[in-house]
Copies of this chain bind each other. A is one copy, B any other.
Amino acid sequence: MATIDRMLGRLVRRGELRVIDAAGRLHDVGTPDPGRPRVTIRLADRRVGLDIVRHPRLGAAEAFIDGRLIIEEGDIAGLIDLIRANGAWEKPGPSLAAPNPLRRHWGNARARLDRFNWGAKSRRNVAHHYDIGDRLYDLFLDADRQYSCAYFTDPANTLEQAQADKKAHIAAKLALKPGQRVLDIGCGWGGMALYLNRVADVDVLGITLSEEQLRTARRRAEEAGVSDRVRFELIDYRDVTGVFDRIVSVGMFEHVGPPHYRRFFLKCRSLLADDGVMLLHTIGRMGGPGTTDAFTSKYIFPGGYNPALSEIVAASESVKLIAADIETLRLHYAYTLKHWYDRTVAARAAIVALYDERFYRMWTFYLAGARAAFLHGGMCNYQIQYIRDRRTLPITRDYLADAERALHARG
């Protein structure tokens, strides 16, 4: 009893958590925190606590998905937010004083096994997440199905607006000229490729490893009457040939894996014209190299890894790609995920009908957990603009705002 209360007390100081244990006893911890309502959870059996102590995130996730950890007051987003806010990344523990190379070594060695995404494995990993039914993505994404961090010029903007602004923000950094050839690595359902063709009069090759994405993307290009200028292929980036004036890759690098970073950039460099520009948009971790958490690896993105900026840059500079501009989007993904979570909750009945309650709970845990990682954990989103030749692009960044304004006008 006392032990449980002490443990819970360490977990939650600000904000209120009530735990009803398997014997029906109440444990109240924390203090009222304005704007953060109390969360009450019920543990259906005695194993839940032990599972969580053994594997904190995975144990809690599986207990919640299985329905053994039940939220009686509040919701899973509130529970995760409450716990993560109490261990916020900005308030580092003693780990800041000195790095532990041995621990990092072992952590990395363990994680390294998971990071080898060879051809066939890449396809399986992609199918695991993206081929689970187009219908699901309609239910929580924006109409253009942008499945990556949006760009909020105002946190109050709608998701549709923020995703449109994201496309313009990226297009501006690509410094596009009419008639240029663009490669979109990890094109999703084709939204970015179609947008770039429409606003900048460029030809785009979009590539994906997801058959469902490919079908949808091709259909959209046909419906827009641009399938001669916006083509989509089911092909690994390692197998692409040719030379492109521009390369864009949005939310795909998270699937590459650190052992492949150098080869990824070497391939991109070889596909990029001498005066080419590349824009990499990827989730990142702000506190240096780490490991993917067990829940995400097991349920959401097998083989996925969110890179530290030092890992990205070490690889890209080793192949002489010049990082001309790096922008760290800090809170934008938290805003994006809030929209996705709210839409998921609103679509509960439809999602349960498509899959089942377990899937619905898993999906809400994933989105709520990811949001907390961007709000309180070490996650962010990097936009890195690469060039091969230092003389490419204007010498100052003033062109970016001008280009963005012009793109909004063409929108």
- Assess whether B328 is in contact with A395, with CB atoms less than 8 Å apart: no
- Assess whether A317 is in contact with B309, with CB atoms less than 8 Å apart: yes
A312-352: which have CB < 8 Å to B?
313-314, 317-320, 322-328, 330-332
| A96 proximal to B (CB < 8 A) | yes
Nearest-neighbour CB distance to chain B for A227, whole angstroms, equals 35
Q: CB-CB < 8 A to A308: which residues of B? A: 313-314, 317
Q: Which of A153, A155, A266, A323 has the most CB of B within 10 A?
A: A323
| A107 proximal to B (CB < 8 A) | no
| A310 proximal to B (CB < 8 A) | yes
Q: Interface stretch among A67-75, A244-252, A384-392?
A: A384-392
- A332-B395 contact, Cβ under 8 Å, with A96-B266, A310-B310, A317-B310: yes
- Assess whether B397 is in contact with A320, with CB atoms less than 8 Å apart: no
Q: CB-CB < 8 A to A328: which residues of B? A: 322-325
Instruction: State the CA gap A390–B89 with chains docked (Å).
Output: 10
- Assess whether B325 is in contact with A395, with CB atoms less than 8 Å apart: no
Other-chain residue from B92, B319, B389 in contact with A320 (beta carbon distance below 8 A): B92
Instruction: State the CA gap A133–B172 with chains docked (Å).
Output: 47
Q: CB-CB < 8 A to A330: which residues of B? A: 322, 324, 390-391, 395
- Assess whether A317 is in contact with B287, with CB atoms less than 8 Å apart: yes
- Assess whether B331 is in contact with A395, with CB atoms less than 8 Å apart: yes
- Assess whether B320 is in contact with A287, with CB atoms less than 8 Å apart: yes
| A99 proximal to B (CB < 8 A) | yes
Q: Which of A324, A332, A391 has the most CB of B within 10 A?
A: A324
Provide the A135-168 mask, 1 if CB < 8 A to any CB of B, else 0: 0000000000000000111010000000000000
Nearest-neighbour CB distance to chain B for A171, whole angstroms, equals 16
Q: How large is the interface on A (under 10, 10 to 19, 20 to 34, 35 or more residues)?
A: 35 or more
By beta carbon, the residue of chain B nearest A269 is B96
Instruction: State the CA gap A327–B395 with chains docked (Å).
Output: 11
- Assess whether B90 is in contact with A390, with CB atoms less than 8 Å apart: yes
Q: CB-CB < 8 A to A327: which residues of B? A: 325, 397
Nearest-neighbour CB distance to chain B for A279, whole angstroms, equals 14
Nearest-neighbour CB distance to chain B for A97, whole angstroms, equals 8
A271-314: which have CB < 8 Å to B?
274, 286-288, 308-310, 313-314
Q: CB-CB < 8 A to A313: which residues of B? A: 308-310, 313
- Assess whether A314 is in contact with B310, with CB atoms less than 8 Å apart: yes
- Assess whether B310 is in contact with A395, with CB atoms less than 8 Å apart: no
A367-396: which have CB < 8 Å to B?
380, 388-391, 395-396
By beta carbon, the residue of chain B nearest A153 is B396
Q: CB-CB < 8 A to A96: which residues of B? A: 266, 319-320
- Assess whether B331 is in contact with A317, with CB atoms less than 8 Å apart: no
Q: CB-CB < 8 A to A320: which residues of B? A: 89-90, 92, 96, 286-287
- Assess whether B380 is in contact with A331, with CB atoms less than 8 Å apart: no
Instruction: State the CA gap A355–B314 with chains docked (Å).
Output: 43
By beta carbon, the residue of chain B nearest A400 is B397
- Known contacts A323-B328, A331-B395; 18 further A-B pairs (Cβ under 8 A): A89-B320, A90-B390, A92-B320, A96-B319, A99-B262, A151-B396, A152-B395, A286-B317, A286-B320, A308-B313, A308-B317, A309-B323, A310-B314, A310-B317, A325-B326, A330-B395, A331-B391, A401-B401
17 contacts between A and B (CB under 8 A): A90-B320, A90-B389, A96-B266, A96-B319, A151-B396, A286-B320, A286-B322, A308-B313, A309-B313, A310-B313, A310-B314, A324-B330, A326-B326, A330-B390, A331-B390, A331-B395, A401-B401
